[in-house]
Structure 1
């Protein structure tokens, strides 16, 4: 800087005003170029930091969505098993020449209606990103859209699962009546002893009379319809969305 200062002083002393102005203009240009270079370096560093942050998020999101996919796969299997079990019950209702014994019917009822259906994905990191505003660090616009709408998609799934749960409860309510027996199902599937530590019941009612009940058949049919809708219009599209999200994440993660 002393060097440039001496040049300016010399030009002023020698009254070379035009040369001085030209020099001053050049010096301003050098300062501006220096500022632009500094800004470019700073912007480059900021972009690098954001990209490194994004990679950390992408790896975490991949782990979360892979876990969620495994949970959904298992849930689809359970839902399909319930669907097939309910269809088997309707077959027995329709064909009076092909009837199960009490033990077989109890196994079928237990396996079809014992387990509730609820998708519980891993969303810890995604929720943190949404709450902190870090979704803006995701550079892929398609992935960002998927992540932004993911929570609302889960809300739709939960509504469908709630409807399915209501239909399941309507079937189970029939076993709370005096003429039917949950205890018969528990005893014949060994739930009483192994799961609950209860002694066998005495004089348990048979549940085979339900195969002649129109109310029972109606409830089973609606359950079948709701189970099918849960798979075809909710779980299967959700699985496709999960696959799409994981595919994009894999593409965005640096090797």
Structure 2
């Protein structure tokens, strides 16, 4: 096409048709400009396609991470609820006139205080995106804000779990230092055999702990903190579900 315009231009110059030459010169310039614009449009389209593909990869990876985190959180909520209920059952035993069986108290003690409550979400991809600045590749503003807020929420949950862990430690420490027997608990729950520990010749009873106001106070503080932790988990689960819904809406079929 450009060769065609050049030939016409040479002809007009030879024939001294200046006005027609200028007209065709302008046409040649317009053609070049159109070509440049088409090339830029193609480049932009390719760049947008690459960004879109990259975003889809991120979205699918984040969806996998948050689905795994949801499974972890569901299990953690179950464990925390079981711990909370066992602690309440111990308080109920303290209100009874007759002592319960030693094995019952031992089992409740293990159920209530043996498990650490700690949420460890799968956030490796999210943290990588934040650290590398790739979070900006998420075009949905609401989703991008939710992902940023998720990190702050996790820090808040960690502080709550730390406080719950401190209450659990207080109970175990009180129980140990007041002359009660962890070994009796292990024996009554079958854990001694698993650990290869021989049975006591004269088992020490832990039932006297049920008469202690200090023991009751520590358990009540644990129950309050455990319930507060559950409330935090409920809010966390709602946020997690909202993020998953946004991710699923952005992922192309």
TM-score bracket for this pair, using the shorter chain length: over 0.9
Please, what is the CA RMSD of the aligned residues? 1.4
Report if aligned partners of 1:186, 1:192 keep a CA contact under 8 Å in 2: yes
CA distance in 2, matches of 1:99, 1:47: 73
Q: Tell me which residue corresponds to 1:254.
A: 252
- Which stretches in structure 1 are left out of the alignment for 5+ residues? none
Report if aligned partners of 1:11, 1:17 keep a CA contact under 8 Å in 2: yes
Structure 2 counterparts to residues 70-85 of structure 1, below 5 A: 70-85=71-86
Matched, 1:58 2:56: no
Question: Secondary structure at the residue paired with 1:251?
Answer: helix
1:3 Cα deviation from its structure 2 partner: 2.0
CA distance in 2, matches of 1:51, 1:219: 55
Q: Tell me which residue corresponds to 2:235.
A: 237
- Which stretches in structure 2 are left out of the alignment for 5+ residues? none
Q: Tell me which residue corresponds to 2:205.
A: 206
1:178 Cα deviation from its structure 2 partner: 4.8
Structure 2 counterparts to residues 1-255 of structure 1, below 5 A: 1-93=2-94, 95-97=95-97, 99-194=99-194, 196-232=195-231, 234-255=232-253
Question: Secondary structure at the residue paired with 1:152?
Answer: helix
Report if aligned partners of 2:51, 2:137 keep a CA contact under 8 Å in 1: yes
Report if aligned partners of 1:160, 1:230 keep a CA contact under 8 Å in 2: yes
Report if aligned partners of 1:75, 1:119 keep a CA contact under 8 Å in 2: yes
When structure 1 is superposed on structure 2, of 132-141 and 35-44 the one drifting more is: 132-141
1:98 Cα deviation from its structure 2 partner: 5.2
Report if aligned partners of 1:50, 1:137 keep a CA contact under 8 Å in 2: yes
CA distance in 2, matches of 1:200, 1:236: 42
Instruction: Tell me the number of residue pairs that the alignment of Structure 1 and Structure 2 aligns.
Output: 252
Question: Secondary structure at the residue paired with 1:4?
Answer: helix
When structure 1 is superposed on structure 2, of 165-174 and 175-184 the one drifting more is: 175-184
CA distance in 1, matches of 2:196, 2:45: 67
Report if aligned partners of 2:5, 2:24 keep a CA contact under 8 Å in 1: no
CA distance in 2, matches of 1:42, 1:100: 78
Report if aligned partners of 2:70, 2:237 keep a CA contact under 8 Å in 1: yes
1:15 Cα deviation from its structure 2 partner: 2.5
When structure 1 is superposed on structure 2, of 164-173 and 25-34 the one drifting more is: 25-34
CA distance in 1, matches of 2:87, 2:104: 13
Which digits, 9 at most, give the CA deviation of each residue in 1:7-44, with x for residues without a partner?
Answer: 12222222222222222222222211111111111111
Report if aligned partners of 1:117, 1:165 keep a CA contact under 8 Å in 2: yes
CA distance in 2, matches of 1:18, 1:226: 90
Which digits, 9 at most, give the CA deviation of each residue in 1:179-227, with x for residues without a partner?
Answer: 2111110111011112x11111232321111111111111111101100
Report if aligned partners of 1:61, 1:125 keep a CA contact under 8 Å in 2: yes
Report if aligned partners of 2:77, 2:230 keep a CA contact under 8 Å in 1: yes
CA distance in 1, matches of 2:29, 2:213: 93
